[in-house]
């Protein structure tokens, strides 16, 4: 399932649940349930009103009892907890794990201080994005990495292929895939104060992008101050046997203000924050430069290269890309993935990759690729929805200001 369909599917389910018997909807939407993988929180989701849908081979909650609109707003006003255990976390270890990883990603991994991380991109030989990922340097001989659920198989095969070649030449690197762990994302302005009740560590000293291994609610956790909403928050890797208890404890300590939140609101939150969704806004034929992620290419890497596709990417940095990912606001119905973008004369200049109605801004927002020259903020355009052209304008991202917790 493409991410741009999450918001639409969530709205569709909401309408149908209001109109017909839930068992009928269940048979229609959950027909492949037996074939889907389940996180350890699956029964907990169902017990709390989670409406489960297939996503990247998993049965995941698209929403709960409240609407996607309500969940999105509550995350920004109070907080949300998301089950993101379908994503794949793994560790690379060994004295050569950093030079190995630098062959595969655009980040200056060597320059990261222990306990810090960054967004990066795994690239192919043509400079295209295999996946985007958050990587963290635990120690100089230990990297912790989280990749997207829908990319897990191809990512792990790609890494394993290069690891075999690297080790054959004497490189010291090994890996462990953390299938014994679950992953919870706690997001929103109340996230730190609520989580502080469950750990002795001083979270006021853990800043955006930083990582710590600590006990939370009595469980040995990996915690990163990051997220996918634009809000302050944490991603918590917890032993699977402790995941449900941790989710319950967070909800209890928040006194109902932090709510279980599904993939539908997660999609609208990340779009409001101007964050890419792999499979929509990034693909194997799109480079990090075209996707607006030149900032993620380390300064040393820009000078030296040394990663897959570096020749293509460094040329784009020098000469400029032919297409660029930009934000849009628009009139009429919300644009969707593959909506055509035209200039004011009716000439095709690009395509929408993600779009929807912003619950927080109460207007249409979208992202899409346009030809260079048509990418500057304020540029007027026409966006085709169901064959009809509506006014759009290139708009700076993020649409909603980010609230990451950084040193003052």
Rounded (10°) angle between helices 22-29 and 4-19: 150
Query: Is 5 a residue whose pLDDT tops 70?
Result: no
- Joined together, the tokens standing for residue 292 give 């607006």
Q: Is 41-86+180-271's fold the same as 322-396's?
A: no
Share of the chain above pLDDT 70, in %: 92
Please, where are the H alpha helices in 198-298?
243-253, 263-272
What are 296-331's pLDDT values in tens digits?
999 999 999 999 999 999 999 999 999 999 999 999
What are 150-201's pLDDT values in tens digits?
999 999 999 999 999 999 999 999 999 999 999 999 999 999 999 999 999 9
| Local confidence band at 408 (pLDDT 50, 70, 90 cut-offs) | confident
In this prediction the pTM is 0.92
CATH topology of domain 41-86+180-271: Gyrase A; domain 2 (3.30.1360)
Q: Which long-range contacts (CB under 8 A, 24 or more apart) does 109-114 make?
A: 109/135, 109/137, 109/143, 109/298, 110/300, 111/298, 111/300, 112/136, 112/137, 113/137, 114/138, 114/139, 114/140
Domains of the chain, residue spans: 41-86+180-271, 322-396
Known binder of ligand: residue 283?
A: no
User: How does the average pLDDT of the chain come out, rounded?
Assistant: 93
Residue 192 · residue 204 · CB < 8 Å:
yes
* pLDDT value of residue 75: 98
CATH topology of domain 322-396: Elongation Factor Tu (Ef-tu); domain 3 (2.40.30)
* Closest listed residue to residue 90, CA positions, set 176, 10, 182: 176
- Joined together, the tokens standing for residue 30 give 């959950």
């Amino acid at each position: 399932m493409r991410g741009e369909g999450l918001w639409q599917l969530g709205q569709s389910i909401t309408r149908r649940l209001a109109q017909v018997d839930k068992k009928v909807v269940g048979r229609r939407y959950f027909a492949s349930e037996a074939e889907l993988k389940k996180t350890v929180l699956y029964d907990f989701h169902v017990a709390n009103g989670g409406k489960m849908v297939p996503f990247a081979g998993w049965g995941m909650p698209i929403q709960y009892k409240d609407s996607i609109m309500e969940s999105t707003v509550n995350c920004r006003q109070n907080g949300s907890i998301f089950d993101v255990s379908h994503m794949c976390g793994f560790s690379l270890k060994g004295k050569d794990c950093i030079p190995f990883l630098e062959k595969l990603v655009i980040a200056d991994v060597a320059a990261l201080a222990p306990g810090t991380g960054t967004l990066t991109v795994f690239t192919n030989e043509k400079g295209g994005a295999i996946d985007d990922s958050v990587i963290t340097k635990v120690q100089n001989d230990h990297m912790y990495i989280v990749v997207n659920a829908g990319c897990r198989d191809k990512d792990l095969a790609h890494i394993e292929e290069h690891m075999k070649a690297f080790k054959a030449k004497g490189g010291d690197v090994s890996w462990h895939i953390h299938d014994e762990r679950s992953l919870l994302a706690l997001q929103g302005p109340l996230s730190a104060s609520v989580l502080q009740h469950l750990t002795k560590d001083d979270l006021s000293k853990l800043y955006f992008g930083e990582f710590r291994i600590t006990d939370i609610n009595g469980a040995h956790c990996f915690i990163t101050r990051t997220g996918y909403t634009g809000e302050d928050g944490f991603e918590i890797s917890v032993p699977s046997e402790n995941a449900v208890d941790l989710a319950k404890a967070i909800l209890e300590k928040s006194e109902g203000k932090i709510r279980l939140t599904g993939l539908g609101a997660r999609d609208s939150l990340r779009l409001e924050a101007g964050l890419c969704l792999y499979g929509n806004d990034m693909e194997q034929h799109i480079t990090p430069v075209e996707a607006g992620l030149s900032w993620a290419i380390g300064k040393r890497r820009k000078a030296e290269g040394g990663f897959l596709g570096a020749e293509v990417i460094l040329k784009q940095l020098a000469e400029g890309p032919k297409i660029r990912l930009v934000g849009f606001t628009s009139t009429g119905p919300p644009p969707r993935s593959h909506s055509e973008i035209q200039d004011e004369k009716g000439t095709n200049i690009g395509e929408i990759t993600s779009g929807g109605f912003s619950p927080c801004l109460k207007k249409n927002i979208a992202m899409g690729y346009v030809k260079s020259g048509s990418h500057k903020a304020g540029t007027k355009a026409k966006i085709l929805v169901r064959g009809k052209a509506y006014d759009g304008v290139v708009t700076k991202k993020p649409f909603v200001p980010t609230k990451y917790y950084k040193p003052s």
